[in-house]
Homo-oligomer: A and B are copies of this chain.
Amino acid sequence: MKNLNAAFSALADPTRRAILARLALGEATVMELADPFEMSQPAVSRHLKVLEGAGLIIRRAEGTKRPCRLAPDAIAEIDQWLSWLREAMSRNFDRLDNVLAELENPKGEKNVE
C-alpha cells in the first residue's frame, strides 16, 4: 500500500488541505492558489506536486497556465483502509469491553489472548 503513504502524508499538511478546499470550489491556476495563501509561488508549486503525486489532484496545460482540479476517486484507497480501521476499532471495542469490565470488577482470570 505504497500510495497510502503518499495520500495520508499529503493530507497531513494543513496548507495542502486548504488547497484542496480551494479546489473544491473549482479549478484554479497556480497563481490563483498562491495568492490567498501567504506563501511564495514555488512553495505552492511544490505542494501541488505532492498532491499530484498522491493522486489527489489532476493538472492540465492551458497556455502557460496549469489549472488544477480535484481528482475523482482520489481517496478510494484511503476510504477502503479507513473503513477497515473503523470496523476494527468498533469490533475491538466490543470485545474489550468485557475485558475492561472484568478488570474493574476482578472476579476471575486474566486471559486476554
Contacts of A60 in B (CB 8 A): 103
Once the chains bind, are B99 and A27 in contact (CB under 8 Å)? yes
Once the chains bind, are A4 and B27 in contact (CB under 8 Å)? no
Copies in the complex: 2
Once the chains bind, are A69 and B86 in contact (CB under 8 Å)? no
The number of residues on chain A lying at the interface, defined by a beta carbon within 8 Å of a beta carbon of chain B, is 46
Does residue A8 face the partner (Cβ distance < 8 Å to B)? Answer: yes
Once the chains bind, are A88 and B75 in contact (CB under 8 Å)? no
Partner of A12, one of B5, B67, B103, B112: B5
Residues of A that sit less than 8 Å from B by CB:
1, 4-5, 8-9, 11-14, 17, 20-21, 23-27, 60, 62, 67, 69-75, 78-79, 81-82, 84-86, 88-93, 95-96, 99, 103, 112-113
